[in-house]
A and B are shown apart, each in its own frame.
Chain A
Amino acid sequence: MTLSRRNFVKVGGAAMALPLLGSSAFAQLEKVKVGFIYVGTINDNGYNYAHNQGRLYVEEHLGDKVETIYVENVPEGPDCERVLRELAQQGCNLIFATSFGFGDSVVKVAPQFPDVAFEHATGYMSGPNIGLYNARFYEGRAVCGTIAGHMSETGKYGYIGSFPIPEVVMGINAFVLAARKVNPDATIKPVYISTWNDPAKEADAARAMIDQGIDVIAQHTDGPAALQVAAERGIVGGFGQGADMSAFAPETQLTAIIDHWGPHYLASAEAVLAGTWVPGNTWEGLKEDVVQMGPYGAKVPADVVAAAEAMRTGQIDGSVHIFTGPINDNTGVERVPAGTTMTDAELLSMDWYVEGVEQPA
């Protein structure tokens, strides 16, 4: 577009009119344009890769009724606001903000574009046109923890986290609860590195923990760095996070938690097409196939595979919930009495560690 006087007036006028458009009714559409913002790169082979697979899934299923665009490496700060506005301006009808730290920006930008549907992953602040979606990653953690309980020789595990938010805390807890069902003395050491994707920091944290005697590692960061260090140092093993990472450590990956966002993205895009989108709050897991387990590694013995499968299928048929009491916190106080299961609301605000978790610094 050239900078003619007419264009200038047109664009400027449109920009000024935007906040005035008050209607929030979603109309039926011929074609939906979907925007995605990622906190890392789609080549991280983990979390962001998985979201991008979800985007491709939508394209595959809706064909020429959908157009998708994405922006990667979006910082969790004011830059995110600009990107969200950019996507809304490019005519996106539906925008997925796929990281926790985008929440502030979504809440600021969404009211300016009442005709656009926003969905924020793993967040907690909703609005008239802001839906929330999340996956029960902790179910996958419980499967990983079961394997760790059986296979670890030292009974000490390491866990690389980004930030101590409920999402991460609950993953650590699920992992160690499952492991301690097998080995009641098992302990886990969380380390927070204050970023979702920094392979150098992830690797450093992995090395430091291996030096301290852990022999199974798990991570709630985006890439395969920790797994690669685990392979290099020859410890018992680690897990893929977000996607199957066995290509990076074929001997070392015991299994992987695979985020399968495609069906959710497709459902939202179809709802926007049909004009029936409403801000939802979904939290699906193994049962709904939003969380999948990767292939079991070659070194995982058959009886351990059977135990892991029992944990997986138990969570699918509802006979197992890893957050069922009795559960003590790591100071020995009973938090969940025997027979009681924590509610979703309690899980989503979890800020304490269960027994077996070394209190992080």
Chain B
Amino acid sequence: MQFRLEKRREPSQFMLYATPVAAVALTMIVGAIIFSLIGYDGVGAVREIFLTPLTNAYKWQDLGVKAAPLIIIGVGLSIAYRANVWNIGAEGQYVIGGLAGTGIALLTYGMTGWWILPLMVLAGMLGGMAYAAIPALLRTRLNVNEILTSLMLTYASVQLIYYLIRAPWKDPMGMGFPQTRLFSEAARLPFIIPGTIVHLGVPIAVVVGLVAWFIMTRSVFGYRMRVVGAAPHAARYGGFSEHKTIWLALLVSGALAGLAGVLEVAGPFQRMVPGFPTNYGFTAIIVAFLGRLNPLGVIVAGVVLAITFVGGEVAQTTIGLPNAATGIFQAMMLFFLLAGDILIKYRVRRVVPQPSQGAA
């Protein structure tokens, strides 16, 4: 018995929005079954990972802080992916953004002034943009696949951190540990809720999502991105240059990844350390798809992923679930989502073999 996929003429609008929800629900069900089968409290695992972070008010600050970079990067990626530009190297742009901000923080070390943070943010966005410009240039000039170049540049960016914090930027008081000194007060993001760890980057993430949604639905830029992605031929007839779109997509997603990087280094880290790259740039790819490449959806998806991170630790401490479980749940979510997408766009048809003439 064989099956083949047949393209549906009209993908259901309802299903388009129902699949992310279904993917999360399926992840919970299948996760509970799998972990029960291998001897853990499966239902408890799902409860601790997906519900405890929501029901325990003390965890909300963690969700906000963890979701913020995912949302900011995810929004940028959703814009690029809409235009079929596959920026996989947001992690690298995030790192360069963080380094650019660190550079400003160290240059202004010991100074005070309201202008320092805005300058850091600007430097971070320009840094991310510049780093994303490399794949854009290679793609538009030499037709090199941006998936490969952006991904490989991520590894180069991590080496740049190591170089900078081992020699020129090393903390003089750090006992030889490769890290920069703690930023001075003026270069740290303020906390917006006293007594918590919620910093200014959290509301910025929400604003970025809302602004991006507005631009994508209400402006010529957004229209260009959507048309180029959905119907490249039509877009060319419409006069939208493909190269310009690639540039725009990479620069915008790079700038937002850079923004996330500088907010992260000025907020929770307050100095550059070797542990700065924490895969936000890669996790944000899941966030962008789970959010249906819609900036509003990305906000929700960013929170969902943050829940799995925070909940994963709760599950480790309460029911002894191994750390790898978090990754398994996140991967399952993406898998079900992509599988659901296939089924929305295609239907599965059974292929009935035709008896061949000669054999009869």
Contacts and interface: CB of A to CB of B under 8 A. Distances in A.
Interface stretch (B50-58, B222-230, B289-297): B50-58
A1 B55 contact: yes
Interface stretch (B31-39, B134-142, B174-182): B174-182
B322 interface: yes
B12 interface: no
A164 B275 contact: no
A11 B56 contact: yes
Interface string B275-301: 110100000000000000000000000
A1 B54 CA distance: 11
Given A77-B269, A124-B175, A165-B177, A15 B57 contact: yes
Contacts of B314: 86
Interface in B310-328: 310, 313-314, 316-318, 320, 322-323
Nearest to A75: B275
Contact of B57 (A12, A75, A79): A12
A89 B55 contact: no
Contacts of B57: 8, 11-12, 15
A96 to B, nearest CB: 14
A87 B269 contact: no
Nearest to A125: B175
B197 A81 contact: yes
Interface in B157-198: 162, 166, 175-178, 195, 197
A71 to B, nearest CB: 5
A72 B326 CA distance: 12
B322 A72 contact: yes
Contacts of A85: 58
Contact of A165 (B162, B176, B318, B320): B176
Which of B52, B195, B275 has the most C-beta atoms of chain A within 10 angstroms of its own C-beta? B275
Interface residues of B, number: 34
Contact of B276 (A77, A163, A192): A77
Contacts of B322: 72
B323 A41 contact: yes
A71 B278 contact: no
A75 B280 CA distance: 13
B195 A16 contact: yes
B176 A82 contact: no
A101 B178 CA distance: 10
B222 to A, nearest CB: 34
B56 A71 contact: no
B103 interface: no
B62 interface: yes
A71 B313 contact: yes
A23 interface: no
B275 A76 contact: yes
B26 interface: no
Given A71-B323, A77-B275, A194-B162, A166 B175 contact: yes
Nearest to A35: B317
B268 interface: yes
Contacts of A19: 195
B217 to A, nearest CB: 33
A2 interface: yes
A171 B275 CA distance: 23
A86 B175 contact: no
Contacts of A15: 57-58
B317 A87 contact: yes
A228 to B, nearest CB: 22
A169 B162 CA distance: 18
A101 B176 contact: no
A330 interface: no
Contact of B273 (A2, A3, A77): A77
B95 to A, nearest CB: 13
B123 interface: no
A232 interface: no
Given A76-B275, A166-B176, A71 B317 contact: yes
A166 to B, nearest CB: 6
A83 B55 CA distance: 18
B232 interface: no
Nearest to B279: A75
B274 interface: yes
Nearest to A168: B176
A165 B322 CA distance: 30
Which of A11, A77, A104 has the most C-beta atoms of chain B within 10 angstroms of its own C-beta? A77
B83 interface: no
A80 B99 CA distance: 21
B65 A78 contact: yes
A113 B271 CA distance: 24
A276 interface: no
A189 B278 CA distance: 30
B55 A3 contact: yes
Nearest to A112: B195
A156 B316 CA distance: 44
Given A90-B318, A165-B176, A351-B176, A101 B54 contact: no
Contacts of B54: 3
A77 B318 contact: no
B56 A1 contact: yes
A79 B317 contact: no
B213 to A, nearest CB: 28
23 contacts: A1-B55, A11-B56, A15-B58, A69-B316, A69-B320, A71-B316, A71-B317, A73-B323, A76-B273, A77-B268, A79-B278, A82-B62, A82-B313, A85-B58, A87-B317, A100-B177, A104-B271, A163-B176, A163-B177, A163-B274, A165-B175, A194-B162, A194-B274
**Which 7 A-B residue pairs are closest in the complex by CB-CB distance?**
A78-B268, A77-B275, A15-B58, A76-B275, A73-B323, A3-B55, A12-B57
Given A1-B52, A77-B276, 4 more contacts: A1-B55, A69-B316, A70-B316, A165-B177
